[in-house]
Structure 1
Amino acid sequence: MNPYALIDLHCDTLTDCIHKGLTPDTLDDPDRVLSLSSLPSDVHWAQFYAIFIPDQHRGQAAIDYYETNRDNFNRQMEKFHDRISPCRSVSDMHAAWEAGKTAAFLTIEGGAALAGDITRVKKLADDGVRCMTLTWNGENELGSGHTTTHGMTDFGRQAVREMEDRGILVDVSHLNDTGYADLFETARRPFVATHSNARAICSHKRNLTDDMIREMVRRNCLIGLNYCKNFITDGGIGDSPDDLYRHIEHFFSLGAYENIALGSDFDGAALPTYLNTPAKAADLYEYFLEKGMSKELAEGIMFRNAEEFFRKNL
């Protein structure tokens, strides 16, 4: 049994942040985990496709990298138009599903794409970017990732407010703890953690603390469960869906019943065997029901929570 739909808040399939090498047609590359041909035919799929900006790219180099990959995304939207549609809203997503196509949202992983220029927020929005992770692992003009200790910069705070005004979702995955505190003081609208788990269950710094989760619940934010082994269990040990389920139970214990979604990190992370294909990700729905989860909660995680969040915030 599969869900009616599945919404995935993060993958690196477009640019592949683990550097396996690029083929021109990244979205239907058989060597990638997430390819159009691998998606379950009976599931309406919506995918956030991130343009990953490596930390070493800054200024014009970051702009050039972004624009090259934006153009490749747009080219593939045309080439595979019979199977995928670019989307900017819930109505676009539903139209894609009704046409039997995958709904594709363009996103960015790494605020270096702004190159320190606030006017570029509007440019990205005009390009169709609907979500941006503020940092990757290191530092950029907006702030610091989880491998560093500084918080958000003044420019980063300004960028967050401009993103909110321009309709680009603020993504806090990869932001370090100091940056989270700064973001909580800055954000005026609900934001997302596209691919982050619970730190109380797996201690990796990329995961969210209980205080972060409670605050995100209070603000009606959205959290995408990350399939990366090292973010599910300490040391990446274990290969049972029960490992991921412990995170879900913990999120629920903090009141996040309507805040959890999926954020696979396909083609950007080492995956457990039970989540190493799109079909297995869709199988989570049946697993949730077998664990005794209600259909309402299971559908919430698979697609309804994200769908409602998009309806209110995109």
Structure 2
Amino acid sequence: MTQKRPFIIDAHLDMSLNALEWNRDYRLSAHEIRETEAGMNDKIDRARGTVSLPDLRRGNIGLVVATQIARFNQSNGNLPGAGWNSPEQAWATTQGQRAWYEAMEDAGEMVQIRDRAGLEKHLERWFDETIPNEQKPVGYILSLEGADSIVKLSYLEKAYGYGLRALGPAHYSTGRYAPGTGLSGPLTPAGRELVREMDRLGIILDVTHLTDEGFSEALELYKGPVWASHHNCRTLVPHQRQLSDDQIRQLTERGAVIGGCFDAWMMKPGFTQRTSNPADFSITIETIIDHYDHICQLTGNSQHIAIGSDLDGTYGTEQSPTDLDTIADLQNLTDLLAKRGYSTNDIDNIFYKNWLQFLRNAWQ
């Protein structure tokens, strides 16, 4: 399989959240979506979005891990997807998000990938250069960010039945199953049962947003495939949200892949979310390579780093690398990586091969 532009797998996009809560029609280009939001100020990233289905195709990003997110989190209702007063309401919200993905499938815009056979079929189509990208549906693997909406354990099997294939028990702040970013402490008793049930069903464990204690506990309880969908390095950006060197080593020993996140506050230290300007910190697309380099030095290879951009994670160009206009600009990593000494094989590893190998192993 060879292509002129590298194929890209992006392991974290909040597409349905944006489609429903931001009222964005992802069939429009990012620039067209910005036009529909001109003059709006209800959300900080209005008219600054970077993600759309046409821009994914333009960037040769043919497979994404796409989330559902709805939180029972009364301590901070300002968080993305949070503030529901009951787990049942959160569950219903995730079902609306699932309905949007299914509507995109009916429109021929997307296709859900649930297993190895579906993965290989999808790749065959995307690597066929006789078919224009405009005619290819964007593949998506369904993930749940924060487990609050799993009303009780039996709901996890329901979710697996409709295609849920990855789950991060935590998000920001408090959680029914695990505390998340900004907190400390272990999984809740229900969280320990959740992780065991994920293991039984074969749902990939996403350690993103777990506390240090929750990270250690989840890895001990869970024996199956683990990834960190959108995470950077604590050594470079000292914050509990990032992975420590020891955590990176533990993950790579488990065959995990870590997706570099393009949210500016996670790329350089000192950046304040929703306040700082990326230009003041000289944050560019190349900045993520510092995090890739760090992981490569720790592991001795390029087999555990990849892309988990989070580029529609409730922020836009105001909190993205200054030289990134839309998600299609992820292709600019090609030359930047080459200038930093990365081989063609290394670049392919980062763009798609590492995630692909992970999925093939997970879905044998």
| Structure-1-length-normalised TM-score | 0.91
Partner of 1:38: 55
After TM superposition, the structure 1 = structure 2 runs for residues 15-30 of structure 1, keeping only pairs within 5 Å, are 15-16=17-18, 21-23=22-24, 25-26=25-26, 28=28, 30=30
Could you list the per-position Cα deviations for residues 117-162 of structure 1 after superposition, in whole angstroms to 9, with x for gaps in the alignment?
Answer: 1111111111111111211102222110012222101221221121
Partner of 1:167: 202
- Separation in 1 of the partners of 2:312 and 2:61? 20
Aligned length: 309
Partner of 1:181: 216
| Structure 1 range deviating more: 191-200 or 45-54 | 45-54
Offset of residue 257 of structure 1: 2.5
- Paired AA for residue 63 in structure 2: A
Determine if contact 2:16/2:98 at 8 Å carries over to the other structure.
no
Offset of residue 20 of structure 1: 6.8
Q: Structure 2, unaligned stretches of length 5 or more? A: 34-48, 71-80, 126-135, 272-280
Partner of 2:11: 9
SS of aligned partner of 1:136 = coil
CA RMSD of aligned residues (A): 2.1
Offset of residue 91 of structure 1: 3.1
**1:277 and 2:278 matched:** no
After TM superposition, the structure 1 = structure 2 runs for residues 48-67 of structure 1, keeping only pairs within 5 Å, are 48-53=65-70, 54-57=81-84, 58-67=86-95
- Paired AA for residue 66 in structure 1: T
Offset of residue 109 of structure 1: 0.9
- Separation in 1 of the partners of 2:196 and 2:95? 23
Percent of aligned pairs with the same amino acid: 24
SS of aligned partner of 1:273 = coil
After TM superposition, the structure 1 = structure 2 runs for residues 95-244 of structure 1, keeping only pairs within 5 Å, are 95-99=121-125, 100-115=136-151, 117-236=152-271, 237-244=281-288
Partner of 1:258: 303
Q: Structure 1, unaligned stretches of length 5 or more? A: none
**1:85 and 2:111 matched:** yes
Of residues 285, 308, 312, the one that matches 2:357 is: 308
| Structure-2-length-normalised TM-score | 0.79
CA radius of gyration, larger in: 2
Determine if contact 1:55/1:139 at 8 Å carries over to the other structure.
no
